[in-house]
Amino acid sequence: MARLGLLLVCLAACGEDTAAPLGATWFGEVGDLLRTKCAGCHRPGGIAPFSLYDLGDAQDQMARMLEAIDTGIMPPFSLEDAPDCAPRHGWRDDPRLTPHEQALMHSWVDLGGPAGEPRPLRDTPSTTLDDASVMLRPDQEFTASGDRDQFVCFLLDPHLTSDSWLTASQVYPSAAQIVHHANVQLVSPGAAAAAIADIGGIGVPKLGCFTPPGVAFQSWLPGNPALVLPPSVGIPVPAGTLVAIQVHYHPAGGTWTDATGVDLRLTHDTPAWTYELGVYGNDIRPGHLRPDPDDPPSGPVFMIPANRADHVETMDIKHPDNLPRELRVMSVTPHMHLLGTHERATLTHKDGRTECLFDSGWDFDWQRSYPYDAALDDLPLLDASSVVTVSCTWNNTFENPNLTRLLHDENLTAPYDVRLGLNTTDEMCLADLGVVSPTRN
């Protein structure tokens, strides 16, 4: 991931007092703010290009911090509250700066970055999973090198001899400086042999792994806390299940060795709710993919035309009749490729009401999942009559800096018509919805 300055999107707050707070010093509020919201990446040895962990480091970067605050470049949090698409609930672990925190940073910089009266500061939030029951590490390291990003998969075997439930997980790189993100999948026992053949064995790296095997359940970024499901929620893990990790490396011209692993918390206690990932989008069937102005006379096609700055594809996905009685959306994960700029998903109910699931900008280099901050029984409800509408926007012009990156990977010099596909140089339009339903006994 190329852009790694971690300071934070600031939300405009209509009518809220954002006057600069008094006493904005490092040992007042500023140090705690940067330690808890920024230093997960911006610390010595972290993935970010500079540290904000100590006073001197932060003073050296004051101008860059304000630029990041005022332009909203960071953190890697792309969701927006559009006037016509604002979800009913906020987001758990939302790292964006509040108006008070924004004013605090401006005040501190305007004052020249004063230290204030020394006192112990908070440390960065814990990113460990302390009660893991299974710890998985590759047998063989991968050597990342060069100036291009590399995608590598490891297949790991937890040696499960009985069915269990997954309730928490966390990713652990051994060279965190170059790991941009990691996606973790569960590979079912029936798909294990094919996955082993594809990856080349258990615990060994496979380079060029753009489509990892299995069903994803965690998207990890540096500094993220562990994935911990609510106490009453679990993911079924049958005996013989394998775990796949897709790691996105950003070696940035250096040479590094890494063996990214994952810790799991498993239990045999049956939870009240079962979690699974529902994938909505990439639907080009007639009646699902809507027409758009760039379609040929023959009808709707999924294609992002060359030199088009704002191409939109929209699709409607209906649910099968055999849905569980109650299905609640617990989290959302937008997904596009390099040329994407915006994605939105809405839910239309039987009575015609439309509910916004998410509205999001897009940055291929900062993909993540977003859990709602709400009680399970108040989450958006899906049933057999529900329709999920997913809409994506792309910029296939040189105004989009990622076009140059795409053309470099394809050894081309001019934009081309990009179609639906699995490769990074193809495109996708997906809304992965983490859903929960009452556990069936």
pLDDT per residue as tens, the chain (441 positions) = 333 232 322 222 222 334 445 569 999 999 999 998 888 888 887 778 889 999 999 999 999 988 888 887 777 789 998 999 999 999 998 888 888 998 999 999 999 999 999 999 998 888 899 999 999 999 999 999 988 889 999 999 999 999 999 999 999 999 988 888 899 999 999 999 999 999 999 999 999 998 899 998 998 888 788 999 999 999 999 999 999 999 999 888 899 999 999 999 999 999 999 998 888 999 999 999 999 999 999 999 999 999 999 999 999 998 776 677 778 999 999 999 999 999 999 999 988 999 999 999 998 888 888 999 999 999 999 888 899 999 999 999 999 999 999 998 889 999 999 999 988 889 999 999 999 999 986
Give the pLDDT confidence score for residue 223 in this predicted structure: 76
CA angle, residues 397, 70, 361, in degrees to nearest 5:
40
Closest CA to 332 of 364, 299, 379, 377: 379
d(CA 179, CA 313): 32
Domain at 275-438: CATH code: 2.60.120.230
Q: Are 164 and 237 in contact (CB under 8 A)?
A: yes
Q: Which residues contact 90 (CB under 8 A, 6 or more apart)?
A: 372, 373
Please tell me if the domain spanning 134-270 has the same topology as the one spanning 275-438: yes
Class of domain 134-270: mainly beta
Place of tokens 């949090």: 77
The residues pairing with 185 across neighbouring beta strands, listed in sequence order, are 216, 244
Q: Are 172 and 260 in contact (CB under 8 A)?
A: yes
Give the amino acid at 233.
V
The full set of domain ranges for the chain reads 1-125, 134-270, 275-438
d(CA 380, CA 361): 21
Chain centroid to Cα 108, Å, comes to: 31
d(CA 402, CA 407): 9
d(CA 148, CA 146): 6
Place of tokens 């893990």: 237
Q: Are 25 and 108 in contact (CB under 8 A)?
A: yes
Structure tokens at 298: 């023959």
